Amino acid sequence: MTRNRHPDDGNTPLARRLATIVSLEAEDRRALDRLARDPRDFPKGTELIEVGDEETMPFVLLDGFVTVSRSGHDGDRMIVDLLIPGDLANIRSIVLERTDMFYVSVSDVTLSRFVPKVYHELLTGRPRLGTALVFAGAVDRSLLAERLYSIGRRSGYQRLGHFLLELLIRMERAGLAEGHSFRAPLTLATLADLLGMTLEHVSRLMQRLRRNGLIRTDRDRTEIVDVDALAKACGFDPSYLHGTERPKPLQELPV
């Protein structure tokens, strides 16, 4: 896995993602690097944040993958999100007293925690960055809403294919895809938990996708062989990811 600790040129996955939303100048990238000044490594399987933790800090994921999960009264967990390099995490800790999510590394990870003041200064002091950060947060919310719709309305086959296409686009925006392929620790157990299916069902569906010539997999590498065919098969419409939209600058919004 390529390490993306803290490039001097500001070419982090987060900067690449935000640059797909607004045009970033060199000063914007340098300002954005303030979020990544304290990179720390954690091994796979680390409980980064637990439910009920107080005074936690937001962080930017520089490298690796992290699951976000909720738990019931019986302690049983369900994954609700998969964070990839370039994602901002635990932003709600800025205003909430304690966390209500578990954050667990599912690979070796590098992340950088930052104080809320820095994030606030980027929102208010750098117009392009502020616009991009708010827009990215809105897209993240749309992503979770779409996944909820998938679990409630799409078949397992559609659900799995839809998620793989979504992840491909997210990895492309962070500059981490190669053609129509990407590397991510997508174990059957993680996919099953994330998509609300049994491990055995996910295994059968992955085999079906491969047999139909829609995907290829090799360890942690997933390749979408025919993007259009898979999109048609699972009813994938990328408009909810708002990739073709350009947000109105925050300073131009009505008050």
- Report domain extents, the chain: 13-139, 155-241
Residue 75 has pLDDT above 80, yes or no: no
Mean pLDDT throughout 21-26? 92
Closest CA to 46 of 108, 111, 112: 108
Predicted confidence band of residue 117 (pLDDT cuts 50, 70, 90)? very high
Beta bridge partner(s), residue 215: 224
Mean pLDDT throughout 62-75? 91
pTM of the predicted model, to two decimals?
Answer: 0.92
User: In whole numbers, what is the pLDDT of the chain averaged over residues?
Assistant: 92
Q: What is the pLDDT of residue 1?
A: 43
Q: How many CB atoms lie within 10 A of CB 175?
A: 17
Mean pLDDT throughout 119-142? 94
Left if phi > 0, otherwise alpha if psi is -120 to 50, otherwise beta: which for 162? Answer: alpha
For residues 85 and 103, is the Cβ–Cβ distance under 8 A? Answer: no
Residue 229 has pLDDT above 60, yes or no: yes
H helical segments located in 174-226: 188-195, 199-211
Residue 123 has pLDDT above 50, yes or no: yes
The span from the CA of 197 to the CA of 205, in Å, is 10
Closest CA to 241 of 231, 250, 252: 231
Q: What per-residue string of b and e applies to 150-169 under the rule 16 or more CB within 10 Å gives b?
A: beeebebbbbbbbbbbbbbb
Strands (E), the chain: 39-42, 47-49, 59-63, 66-71, 77-83, 88-89, 102-105, 109-113, 181-183, 215-218, 221-224
- In the β-sheet with 221-224, what is the strand arrangement from edge to edge? 181-183, 221-224, 215-218
Q: Does domain 13-139 have CATH number 3.40.50.11540?
A: no
Predicted confidence band of residue 252 (pLDDT cuts 50, 70, 90)? low
Q: Which CATH architecture has domain 155-241?
A: Orthogonal Bundle (1.10)
13-139 shares its CATH topology with 155-241: no
The span from the CA of 183 to the CA of 218, in Å, is 9
Predicted confidence band of residue 250 (pLDDT cuts 50, 70, 90)? low
Predicted confidence band of residue 188 (pLDDT cuts 50, 70, 90)? very high
Residue 226 has pLDDT above 50, yes or no: yes
